[in-house]
Structure 1
C-alpha cells in the first residue's frame, strides 16, 4: 500500500436519489432488487451533476452498488460529468443493508412490540432472518474504504504519471522548437526587457541601440546594446529554455477523487466506523436522498469527514 505522505484521497459518498421504495414507507425496505429511481430521483441526479461540474469536481474512479437505483444514479451523474460509463465499477460491498425475509413485508406486521424490544436489546448485532446486522454493514464498508479505496492510488499512479509525462513531452517539444527558431533569427524576441518603458534612438556616430529610462538619466555603459549582443542574449535565452525543459519535473503531490454511489444505511454505518462509535448510533445520523458526504484521507491525518449529508444541489430543482 502506498504510504506517500503527500498523497490526498477524497471520497464522495453519494446516496441514490428518490426511488419507488421511498413512496412506500409502509413496507420494509432493504435491498429489494428491481426498484428504480423516480422521476424526481432522476432530476436530483442531474442537479447533482450540474453542481459537481460547477465546482470542478472530477472523479479519478467511480464505484457503485449493483442495485439498479444506485447504478442508475451513478450513470446519470457520470454521463453529465463526461466520465465513461464502462469505467463505473460495481461492488457488492456497497449494497444496501439486507433485511432478509422481511424485505417487502408490511412494517406494521413485522415490527411488533416484541420484535422492537428484541432489536433494541441486541443492537448493533441484531439481524432480520437471513439479513445483516448494523455491525456487519459497518465492517464491509470500512473494509471497502481501507482496502479497495486506499489501495487505489497505487494502481492508478502509473497511469497518472504516464499522462503527466505525455503532457510534459508536448510542452517540451513546443519549447524546443521555439528556442531553435529564436537562434535562427526567425522569431527574435525584443532585444530589451518589455517592462522597461523608454525611447529608442540611434546615436549619430554609432551603430548601436540606446535605451533611455523614464525614471533615470542616461546610462550609456549599462543601457547600450549592439545587435550582436542582442543576438547573443537571444541565444542564451533559447539555451536556458532547452535546459529548463530537459529535466522532467513530476508533480510533488498526488490527489485522487473517487465517487461512491450507494445507499443511506451503508453511508451511516461507514460514518460511525470513521468516528469510532457504535454502529447502533447510525439511527442518529441523517442521510437524505441524493445527499453527498465527503471523506478525506492522508497518511498524516487519517480519515476525516469534510461534509455530511450535503444537499445543496436540491436548490437547483
Structure 2
C-alpha cells in the first residue's frame, strides 16, 4: 500500500535570506514566507490531506497552518542540529577544516556538538515507518526544513544520497513522494 507524502519546506525566514545555518533556533516566517505559506493552500487544494505533520518550530507551524487545522508536531521532522555553527553563515564558520570534512562526509562528520546525516536518517526512518503504518493509501503533508527534506528526496526519490548537498528545495517549495513500506528496506 502506497502513501503519498507532500514534502513541504517552511516559508522564507530572514535567516534564510542571510544564508544562516538555522537548525534548532526558532525563528518566524518573514513577509515573503507568510505569502509563500498562504499560496500552499491553493497548491494542494486538490489533495485530500489525511494528516499534517510539522517540526516543532514556529516557521513550520505557520506554514502547516495554511493546510488545515489538525496539526501534529513531530520532533523527528526537525532540521539538522548545527551545534556550534547554529545561526552562523558559511563565512562566519571558523573551523574550515571541520566544515570541509562535513561537506565531504556528512554521514560521519557533524558540526561540533551537532548531528550527522546518519543521526538524521535514523529519526526520519523512524518517522516514515510510523507514517506508512498509520496512513496507508492516504496523503500526508510533512512541513519540515531543507536538510530533512533534501535527505528524503535524495534517499527515496533519487535513490542517491550523494545528492544531499546538491538538491535544492527553496523556502515554500514542495515535492511529492509516493512510498510503501517496501521502499524503506
Q: Does structure 1 retain, via aligned residues, the 8 Å contact 2:132–2:180?
A: no
Matched ranges for 1:31-50 at <5 A: 31-33=24-26, 35-50=27-42
Q: Does structure 1 retain, via aligned residues, the 8 Å contact 2:98–2:111?
A: no
What is aligned with 1:134? 117
- Are 2:163 and 1:281 equivalent residues in the alignment? yes
Per-residue deviation, residues 215-245 of structure 1 (Å, max 9, x unmatched): xxxxxxxxxxxxxxxxxxxxxxxxxxxxxxx
TM-score by length of 1: 0.53
Matched ranges for 1:1-317 at <5 A: 7-25=1-19, 27-33=20-26, 35-53=27-45, 56-75=46-65, 77-78=66-67, 83-84=68-69, 87-120=70-103, 122-145=105-128, 147-153=129-135, 255-274=137-156, 275-278=158-161, 280-298=162-180, 302-303=182-183
Question: Could you say which structure has the greater relative contact order, defined with CA pairs below 8 angstroms and 6 or more residues apart?
Answer: 2
Displacement of 1:117 in angstroms is: 3.7
Per-residue deviation, residues 51-82 of structure 1 (Å, max 9, x unmatched): 222xx11211111000110111001x22xxxx
Structure in which a larger fraction of residues adopt helix: 1
Query: Is the alpha carbon distance of 1:106 and 1:153 closer, same or farther for their aligned partners in structure 2, counting shifts above 3 Å?
Result: closer
Query: Is the alpha carbon distance of 1:144 and 1:41 closer, same or farther for their aligned partners in structure 2, counting shifts above 3 Å?
Result: same
Per-residue deviation, residues 258-312 of structure 1 (Å, max 9, x unmatched): 111101110111123224433x43011111111111111346xx449xxxxxxxx
Displacement of 1:125 in angstroms is: 1.4
Gaps of at least 5 residues in structure 1 are: 1-6, 155-254, 305-317
Q: Does structure 1 retain, via aligned residues, the 8 Å contact 2:18–2:89?
A: no
Displacement of 1:114 in angstroms is: 2.4
Displacement of 1:42 in angstroms is: 0.9
Per-residue deviation, residues 73-131 of structure 1 (Å, max 9, x unmatched): 001x22xxxx32xx211100000111012212353231544233433454321111221
**Within 1, Cα distance between the matches of 2:7 and 2:90?**
28
TM-score by length of 2: 0.87
**Within 2, Cα distance between the matches of 1:286 and 1:150?**
25
Counterpart secondary structure, 2:43: helix
